Amino acid sequence: MHLRVINPNTTASMTLLAGRAAAAAAPPGAVVDAVHPTMGPASIESHYEEALAVPGVLEQVAIGEREGVDGYVLACFGDPGLDAARELARGPVLGIAEAAMHAATMVGRRFSVVTTLGRTVGRARELVDRYGFAGACAGVHAVEIPVLALEDPRSGAREAVTERCRRAVVEDGADVVVLGCAGMAELCAHVSAEVGVPVVDGVAAATALVAALVGIGLRPGAGGEYAPPPPKPVAGLLAGFTVAPRVPAVSR
Amino acid sequence: MHLRVINPNTTASMTLLAGRAAAAAAPPGAVVDAVHPTMGPASIESHYEEALAVPGVLEQVAIGEREGVDGYVLACFGDPGLDAARELARGPVLGIAEAAMHAATMVGRRFSVVTTLGRTVGRARELVDRYGFAGACAGVHAVEIPVLALEDPRSGAREAVTERCRRAVVEDGADVVVLGCAGMAELCAHVSAEVGVPVVDGVAAATALVAALVGIGLRPGAGGEYAPPPPKPVAGLLAGFTVAPRVPAVSR
Amino acid sequence: MHLRVINPNTTASMTLLAGRAAAAAAPPGAVVDAVHPTMGPASIESHYEEALAVPGVLEQVAIGEREGVDGYVLACFGDPGLDAARELARGPVLGIAEAAMHAATMVGRRFSVVTTLGRTVGRARELVDRYGFAGACAGVHAVEIPVLALEDPRSGAREAVTERCRRAVVEDGADVVVLGCAGMAELCAHVSAEVGVPVVDGVAAATALVAALVGIGLRPGAGGEYAPPPPKPVAGLLAGFTVAPRVPAVSR
Amino acid sequence: MHLRVINPNTTASMTLLAGRAAAAAAPPGAVVDAVHPTMGPASIESHYEEALAVPGVLEQVAIGEREGVDGYVLACFGDPGLDAARELARGPVLGIAEAAMHAATMVGRRFSVVTTLGRTVGRARELVDRYGFAGACAGVHAVEIPVLALEDPRSGAREAVTERCRRAVVEDGADVVVLGCAGMAELCAHVSAEVGVPVVDGVAAATALVAALVGIGLRPGAGGEYAPPPPKPVAGLLAGFTVAPRVPAVSR
Amino acid sequence: MHLRVINPNTTASMTLLAGRAAAAAAPPGAVVDAVHPTMGPASIESHYEEALAVPGVLEQVAIGEREGVDGYVLACFGDPGLDAARELARGPVLGIAEAAMHAATMVGRRFSVVTTLGRTVGRARELVDRYGFAGACAGVHAVEIPVLALEDPRSGAREAVTERCRRAVVEDGADVVVLGCAGMAELCAHVSAEVGVPVVDGVAAATALVAALVGIGLRPGAGGEYAPPPPKPVAGLLAGFTVAPRVPAVSR
Amino acid sequence: MHLRVINPNTTASMTLLAGRAAAAAAPPGAVVDAVHPTMGPASIESHYEEALAVPGVLEQVAIGEREGVDGYVLACFGDPGLDAARELARGPVLGIAEAAMHAATMVGRRFSVVTTLGRTVGRARELVDRYGFAGACAGVHAVEIPVLALEDPRSGAREAVTERCRRAVVEDGADVVVLGCAGMAELCAHVSAEVGVPVVDGVAAATALVAALVGIGLRPGAGGEYAPPPPKPVAGLLAGFTVAPRVPAVSR
């Protein structure tokens, strides 16, 4: 089983971090690698950046399909390009927000999300609604630390995230906490030990769950909403994304 | 008041069509023009195409901001790039799905959507949920005619759309019908006359509603979720989308 | 285009206030006037008063129909008589609660409502649910100042409303605020400047949105739920409201 | 225990019918009477008629309060004036739609409503949502027989209602049926015997449930949303509804 | 009319308490008795205990059926075995959580629940959702006093429950409070007098409501989901629960 | 990793079937076994039977804990005893309905459930709601074949299930189908091949997902709702289930 983590931004250190978290979560025998796009923003903290990250995600899925990848993890908590990636991939694709919320509701009654910047809370709530977990979500909170500062020990991220998770348990009544950024993956064990409830890192959750789906042969249907996109010209700067006639049909 | 319709695909005839529909819907004194991106797919019938249309939409909003546009309409029923466009624009931005659903619920109890291909129904339902209209949506139906065939009289689109709307009224109990594609704009009067309930064209609805918002000075807040995206490098093919330090702050 | 604001209570100064707010919000070329009923309570702060305001609202719609009015605004945040008014009117009718909530969700993710008395909060929540905005409503709050005291500078309304809106932004995480009373219309600009998020006055929103609907020819269907009421005797004190055979059919 | 059924329309035969159904449903020792207003429409089949029925309902509650009535049933499936009546009454007030839906969900998983005219379906759905039963409501259907024709054997009401209930069980998967009009009360036993699932008549349900509430001393709180309406002048035709200072406070 | 309260735990003092509360709530002429199972836990404060209480509840329903009981109350706020009991009983069966929530929404807009231990809050929320009252529930709170300590004056239960109810009214905006344990029945009058809003004891509510259903002949349908369980062997320790062929059909 | 499938009924052939399906779904290196209780019904087709199956499920979890099992699958589509089992187990526990719905929403937009008897549809819908998938569930359908007949080739189960799944795809617009009984596990590949959309067997899904949770160390929190049940006597027939003081604390 060959699983691939796609870090949707172009910062290599985050790709390495996500790759480590995924490798630790994969089942025996799975090969896991991690990549990032050749194009797009250095981190994703706005709708604008998320939108610009998507073409690069799709480029990487197309590459993965040529290399026979069996399942994908999109390692950004906004789940950028998830539906489009499902149209390109033969195997299952999971976003880390999606996976973390599914996992959280399998082990607790109500989860809170602790994320980076307040401006991303709206997107997190939108995903909570989309995946059906509005009734299970007790709160979404931001620590106001930018994504790329999470790895910097001077940012105080470890303490801030731990403290915000602790408050969520007490004030929201959450019995699970979801970490709302791939860059928090390596805080998961620490926070879990500190706050006394299960804490979910989306990269680990998505890797383990996509491996589960691959293992039982579940993937989106080849017809219907997630069928390969129809052959059609794409103009201008993005012409390289043109879907040529017949190729998707053949490769699928 | 300067309003701009952005056709998210790159097909000029659809831009003209959307521009005509918007001009007819705008209030006295409003200047309305219609544009399409320099990049992206010829039409949008999959998640993949929608994702690839978004950078071009954002390019056009950035141009519009330099030209002093007061409000925008995104003329594709998937509302591609809506949240990101709100971060770039000083004035309000409405998608045609969003606007059509708001308008429909102001004149009726329950609406049905009639759209092009079945594979887009999932996205339409997702938007119904996001905008809060799950309780008001009686059905979403496809006529299985591609977007670019709608304008071709030989496609039978007029008859097929009319007939599907009629069935929606009878079988769903809908008292309003929403046309689920910008390319159906010029069918609106015909269908409405035939089916005996109000029929909403999203291009007209979005133009009229965005003009209303501009008229009373309502726009997303300059702080919070829709604040301008932070300055940050964008790599590779999309490097031209880099947000340089200070510029958004100054222009806002 | 002839728009009419109906102040559902019988206090002339509120009618003037609503008329001014509506006139400022209407598009170029629209004629806007404001009226109030000959019967009913001096202000609306209970279900009882709202119920007693409705016959007067319907009287005014009937008068408006004889005078060729194109669209109506019901300028009380309980939207009294909205559905019944739609049966009488040929054109669209919007309540200010309905319109304010629609407008708020077009420019933000989550809105809070700030209203007059705590006893009206239940009705406001009921309308939030009816219009589909339960997921978008972050809170409903009262300042405990009666409707007719809002205009009195000694009531402290300006300060109290501003302060409550500010708290709603911070505590609820709202990125839009809705003013929950027509009598707050002239506080809107002040509050908006103070709290730093868009603030929606329902009178302005309803006027602009109903003008938009009139402009594109959208109105409730002449059949179905909003068809003219059937001819039928009305007894006793309200006998003047009897619908005589044939008249509605002719006038429609 | 003194219970009063208020038929919100002015047709005496329906008052008698509702009174009979209520008397049969009341517990031992309860005194049940039935009244109708001195003003208002002959039957209620539109929002307009419902609005005009409300003042008469409130007149009857005010009379009932002077006579020491302990609990009220509003015998029209639109539950007209329910919240306002709760402000006037010392004891509990139930509408028949409300009561029927509560009772239905106490004995089955999913109910369908069978009502008179299609134009009233929207109101029925609105009440389903308000009372929290959207997830339990499998359908709302009309037989297109006017309210006042239900009692006429030549209308075919008995057969049409029975047949529509039978279809609801099969097609909706309902395991309870709610009759959506007080005028159907005497069809209840027949339909129930024919369709093989419990059938709920709202008049019986409301009478039994309001007696239950009276029996255990439950009524809306005297403060808060359902406090007596504040003293305030009511103008014009409805001046008789003016709440004079102090009287409600004293009587409560 | 013969009503029976089943205390699902095996503590006799709670059975007596529930029996007293039920007797006081029953209509004139009803015979009310109270029983508890021969098997099961001494109190119910976990899912494990609730699960183990269910066979005893079913044993008591089977006994009740042989004795001609007309309706049942399950006097534990987790409503243990409710659906299974409905399959065994000819008459209606109500849980006290179910009944309390129904009653609360008949007299107020939003209720809060005050219960015993925090670990039972998840179950209470689950029931809120199941019965359709998610929109009406303003909060669920625990006083962290075990069930069997409620009767002990030294536990401080009276003061703690009263205080928590008072806070729920202020902080949640609740206009009704539901007591979340049968063991709180005798606190109801005291708390209600102190907090100034209606307070619902589930035992009283369930008794009154089930009497109402019996009075009008409403019970789950004899076919469908609540039909008698099919004849089938039950093995091992629970062999005594085997349903023998034909008996249920005959007795029903 | 040691995973255990608990077949909640006492029919050994179903235990073997579930064990085979689970073994095929487990990741490399996992040890999977399957057991059934010493007590309880031969199959589960009613609420009564489900209730009586739960003590046996808990007996098996207690045995599993003594044997060091890492994760459990409850192989009945009603997910009997799920919450109670979580209190006893140190590792994660998944029901097959829960797991199948999670998996279905990871690969499609909307799923339909095809189950055995119509009387179980209510329970399936209740679980759909509990897990948050009401918006994603397009339908629940029964083939009216009893559980124990599924394995009998003469029952026509293969054809009936396949045909019902095919109809669900067409009529409901489902893009995934969930098989609603553990006894259908071996039909999964056949049906999937026939209907052209992914088909989910809950036993496989639960095994793969619980393995994923074990692999990343996720389990319900040891405090809160799923803490071990408190020490407390259990009376009568079930006295063997008594939780003795200190033992759970020690073993956890």
Would the pLDDT of F250 be above 60? no
Would the pLDDT of A247 be above 90? no
Output the tens digit of pLDDT for each of chain B's 252 residues.
999 999 999 999 999 999 999 999 999 999 999 999 999 999 999 999 999 999 999 999 999 999 999 999 999 999 999 999 999 999 999 999 999 999 999 999 999 999 999 999 999 999 999 999 999 999 999 999 999 999 888 999 999 999 999 999 999 999 999 999 999 999 999 999 999 999 999 999 999 999 999 999 999 999 999 999 999 999 999 999 999 875 444 444
DSSP tally for chain B: helices H, then strands E: 9, 10
CA distance B210 to B213: 5
Per-residue pLDDT, averaged over A40-53, amounts to: 98
Q: How many CB pairs under 8 A join D and F?
A: 8
C97-201 folds as Rossmann fold (3.40.50)
| Chain A residues whose beta carbon lies within 8 Å of the beta carbon of residue F98 | 106
Contact A211, A30 (CB under 8 A): yes
Would the pLDDT of C18 be above 70? yes
Dump pLDDT digits (tens) for F24-33.
Answer: 999 999 999 9
Structure tokens at E209: 């409501």
| Chain D residues whose beta carbon lies within 8 Å of the beta carbon of residue F121 | 173
The amino acid that residue B170 corresponds to is V
Nearest Cβ partner of D39 from C42, C119, C237?
Answer: C237
| Chain C residues whose beta carbon lies within 8 Å of the beta carbon of residue E135 | 129, 134
3-class state of residue B104 by DSSP: helix
Q: Of C46, C112, C121, which to mutate for an interface test with E (greatest number of E Cβ within 10 Å)?
A: C121
| pLDDT score of A246 | 57
Our answer on whether B and E touch (3+ beta-carbon pairs < 8 Å) is no
Nearest Cβ partner of A219 from F105, F107, F208?
Answer: F107
Minimum distance, in Å, between the CA of residue B126 and any CA atom of chain A:
7
- The chain E residues in contact with chain C (CB within 8 A) are 109-110, 135, 173, 175
Would the pLDDT of A2 be above 70? yes
Q: Tell me the helix, strand and coil percentages in chain F, rounded to 5.
A: 50, 15, 30
Minimum distance, in Å, between the CA of residue A123 and any CA atom of chain C:
9
Nearest CA in chain D to E29: D28
With both helix axes pointing from N to C terminus, report the angle between B12-25 and B202-215 in degrees, rounded to the nearest 10.
50
Tokens 């209209």 -> residue:
B133
E strand segments, E51-164:
71-74, 93-95, 111-115, 137-142
Q: How many CB pairs under 8 A join A and B?
A: 163
Tokens 């006579």 -> residue:
D67
Test C55 with D52 for CB contact under 8 angstroms. yes
| pLDDT score of D249 | 44
Test B39 with A237 for CB contact under 8 angstroms. yes
Minimum distance, in Å, between the CA of residue D183 and any CA atom of chain B:
24
| pLDDT score of B5 | 98
Q: Please, which pLDDT band fits residue E245 given cuts at 50, 70 and 90?
A: confident
| pLDDT score of F248 | 46
Compute the mean pLDDT over every residue in chain D, rounded to the nearest whole number: 95
| Chain E residues whose beta carbon lies within 8 Å of the beta carbon of residue F42 | 232-235
Tokens 């997630």 -> residue:
A226
Minimum distance, in Å, between the CA of residue E71 and any CA atom of chain F:
18
Residue spans in chain D of domains classed CATH 3.40.50.12500: 2-96+206-251, 97-201
How long a stretch of residues is chain B?
A: 252
B131-169 as b/e: b if 16+ CB within 10 A: bbbbbbbbbbbbbebbbbebeeeeeebbebbbbbbbbbb
Tokens 């008041």 -> residue:
B1
3-class state of residue E69 by DSSP: coil
3-class state of residue A50 by DSSP: helix
Q: Of C20, C106, C214, which to mutate for an interface test with B (greatest number of B Cβ within 10 Å)?
A: C106
Q: Please, which pLDDT band fits residue C246 given cuts at 50, 70 and 90?
A: low
Dump pLDDT digits (tens) for A103-154.
Answer: 999 999 999 999 999 999 999 999 999 999 999 999 999 999 999 999 888 9
Task: Give, for D105, the enclosing helix (H) or strand (E).
Answer: helix D96-107
Q: Please, which pLDDT band fits residue A36 given cuts at 50, 70 and 90?
A: very high
| pLDDT score of C151 | 87
| pLDDT score of B205 | 98
CA distances from E205 to A169, E140, E208, F147 (A): 34, 19, 5, 39
Structure tokens at A69: 């990848």
Q: Which residues pair with D32 in a beta bridge?
A: D3
Our answer on whether F and C touch (3+ beta-carbon pairs < 8 Å) is no
- Residue D117 CB-half CA count within 13 A: 19
Longest dimension (CA), chain C: 56
Per-residue pLDDT, averaged over F7-17, amounts to: 97
Nearest CA in chain A to E122: A109
Test A58 with B45 for CB contact under 8 angstroms. no
Test B129 with F109 for CB contact under 8 angstroms. no
| pLDDT score of B9 | 98
Q: Please, which pLDDT band fits residue D151 given cuts at 50, 70 and 90?
A: confident
Q: Of A32, A110, A188, A216, which to mutate for an interface test with F (greatest number of F Cβ within 10 Å)?
A: A216
Sheet holding E199-201, edge to edge: E137-142, E111-115, E176-179, E199-201
Which range (B134-143, D176-185, D242-251, E64-73) has the least confidence? D242-251
Q: Please, which pLDDT band fits residue C10 given cuts at 50, 70 and 90?
A: very high
Which range (C137-141, D148-152, D183-187, F74-78) has the least confidence? D148-152
The amino acid that residue D89 corresponds to is A
CATH architecture of B2-95+206-251: 3-Layer(aba) Sandwich (3.40)
Dump pLDDT digits (tens) for D11-66.
Answer: 999 999 999 999 999 999 999 999 999 999 999 999 999 999 999 999 999 999 99
Q: Angle at the Cα of E17 (from E11 to E21), degrees rounded to 5? A: 145
Contact F161, F187 (CB under 8 A): yes
Dump pLDDT digits (tens) for E85-125.
Answer: 999 999 999 999 999 999 999 999 999 999 999 999 999 99
Evaluate whether the domain defined by A98-201 bears CATH number 3.40.50.12500: yes
CA distance A179 to A100: 8
Between F5 and B251, residue with greater pLDDT = F5
Per-residue pLDDT, averaged over E34-40, amounts to: 98
Nearest CA in chain A to E129: A135
Q: Please, which pLDDT band fits residue C245 given cuts at 50, 70 and 90?
A: confident
- The chain C residues in contact with chain A (CB within 8 A) are 109-110, 135, 173, 175
Would the pLDDT of F244 be above 90? no
Per-residue pLDDT, averaged over D69-89, amounts to: 98
Residue spans in chain A of domains classed CATH 3.40.50.12500: 2-96+206-251, 98-201
Minimum distance, in Å, between the CA of residue A118 and any CA atom of chain B:
7
Tokens 């409560």 -> residue:
D252
| pLDDT score of B245 | 79
Nearest Cβ partner of A49 from B42, B48, B232?
Answer: B232
Q: What is the CATH number of domain C2-96+206-251?
A: 3.40.50.12500
CA distance E112 to C88: 41
Contact E240, E100 (CB under 8 A): no
Residue spans in chain F of domains classed CATH 3.40.50.12500: 2-95+206-251, 97-201
Neighbours of F192 (CB within 10 A): 21
Question: Among residues C42, C68, C70, which one has the least CA distance to residue C56?
Answer: C42
Contact F4, F89 (CB under 8 A): no
Test C107 with B219 for CB contact under 8 angstroms. yes
Test B122 with F135 for CB contact under 8 angstroms. no
Would the pLDDT of F12 be above 50? yes
Test E122 with A109 for CB contact under 8 angstroms. yes
